[in-house]
């Protein structure tokens, strides 16, 4: 079946509010149709320029206007970033995400250095993701030419609630940046945060905004707010684990082929809670003791959890999400005119077969 791009808020709310066990079962079933349920990508998030941001995002300790005792730093050197990337790869990460506390990218020496960082990590056979603020079409093209694999630009919440959290940048500004990235071959990573005081309808509204993009984002991070003293959202209550599981499950149902990233807030989640998120469709985590500026579980803890759950880290640039044995079996079914047994949708397999046939014809 083709992906659905016309989800409504009412439809998504109906999914979100299903009886918990039914929601979990449906999400897990869809997850297994499109992904290997025992494979989870491990990514490392690196703050290459910390603090001093002119924005007023209510959740962010990097905003210059808030007093959070955050220790800022200027842009890291290419060698520093390479050293961090090598450590990340050695610990099992297949993707490095570089974040800079900028409102928007400015052409010049700093951006040239970021482009060199992208080239350097790309040579390590790792996926490279950046989150640098707003991008022009030309800047997105330059990142693509440098070998960028993904660009992260979160919508954060629904369009209606967004203005309650941020006033220095509009919702359309974020959509425009995603549009500029889409004009290149760089994949899109865009999600949001729950626990900022939004309603369930706002959570559904965010998923409407993401799922109606065509194509849908290749990655959707689901973050739980980590309240930081000194920010406007410092007094928010911790998000219940059930809300995170429901949000992951709903995202998986609405965007079946997307990589759902279990992001900020994992230090407050038990291993059992994280396991239920994986079962519900999350297939990526961020490793390392920090997510830009907020706490995160240690890599060794995550690897111990993976071993306990029988999870395998995803390799870099792994396009197919199914095990080799299943891929071969499905190919056999397809050649016999039968419906594939498991994994990727038939229409994707059809396109792959068509491409193979064209390649053989040219040969």
Catalytic residues: 53, 57, 60, 97, 129, 189, 261
Q: Tell me: is residue 130 an annotated ligand-binding position.
A: no
Q: Tell me: is residue 277 an annotated ligand-binding position.
A: no
How far, in Å, CA of 277 to CA of 166, rounded?
A: 28
Give the contacts of 197 (CB within 8 A, at least 6 positions apart): 164, 233, 236
How far, in Å, CA of 284 to CA of 326, rounded?
A: 21
- DSSP class of residue 88 equals H
Q: Tell me: is residue 129 an annotated ligand-binding position.
A: yes
Give the contacts of 14 (CB within 8 A, at least 6 positions apart): none
CA distance readout (Å), 22 to 12, 28, 97, 259, 343: 15, 10, 34, 22, 21
152 in helix, strand or coil? Answer: strand
**Chain centroid to CA 306: how far?**
19
- Residues belonging to the binding site for [2Fe-2S] cluster are 97, 129, 189, 261
Q: What residues are designated binding site for [4Fe-4S] cluster?
A: 53, 57, 60
- The annotation places the binding site at 53, 57, 60, 97, 129, 189, 261
């Amino acid at each position: 079946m083709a992906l659905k791009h016309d989800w409504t808020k009412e439809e998504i709310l109906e999914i979100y509010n299903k009886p918990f066990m039914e929601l979990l079962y449906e999400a897990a079933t869809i997850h297994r149709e499109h992904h290997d349920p025992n494979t989870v990508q491990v990514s490392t998030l690196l703050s290459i320029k910390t603090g001093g941001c002119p924005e007023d995002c209510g959740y962010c300790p990097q905003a210059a206007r808030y007093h959070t005792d955050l220790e800022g730093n200027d842009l890291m050197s290419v060698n520093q970033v390479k050293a961090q990337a090598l450590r990340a790869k050695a610990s099992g990460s297949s993707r490095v995400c570089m974040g800079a506390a900028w409102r928007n990218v400015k052409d010049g020496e700093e951006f040239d250095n970021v482009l060199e960082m992208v080239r350097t990590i790309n040579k390590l056979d790792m996926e490279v993701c950046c989150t640098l603020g707003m991008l022009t079409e030309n800047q997105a093209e330059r990142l693509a030419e440098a070998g960028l694999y993904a660009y992260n630009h979160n919508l954060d919440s629904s369009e209606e609630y967004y203005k309650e959290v941020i006033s220095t940048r509009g919702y359309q500004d974020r959509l425009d940046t995603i549009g500029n990235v889409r004009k290149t071959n760089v994949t899109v990573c865009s999600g949001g945060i729950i626990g900022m005081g939004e309603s369930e309808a706002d959570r559904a509204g965010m998923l409407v905004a993401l799922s109606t993009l065509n194509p849908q984002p290749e990655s959707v991070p689901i973050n739980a707010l980590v309240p930081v003293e000194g920010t406007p959202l410092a007094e928010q209550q911790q998000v219940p684990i059930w809300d995170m599981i429901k949000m992951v499950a709903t995202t998986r149902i609405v965007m079946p082929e997307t990589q759902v990233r279990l992001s900020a807030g994992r230090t407050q989640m038990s291993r059992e809670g994280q396991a239920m998120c994986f079962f519900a469709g999350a297939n990526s985590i961020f490793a390392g003791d920090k997510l830009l500026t907020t706490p995160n579980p240690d890599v060794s803890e995550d690897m111990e959890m993976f071993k306990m759950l029988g999870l395998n880290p995803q390799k870099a640039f792994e396009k197919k999400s199914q095990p080799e044995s299943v891929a071969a079996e499905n190919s056999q079914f397809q050649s016999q005119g039968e419906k594939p047994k498991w994994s990727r949708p038939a229409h994707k397999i059809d396109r792959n077969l068509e491409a193979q046939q064209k390649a053989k014809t040219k040969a």
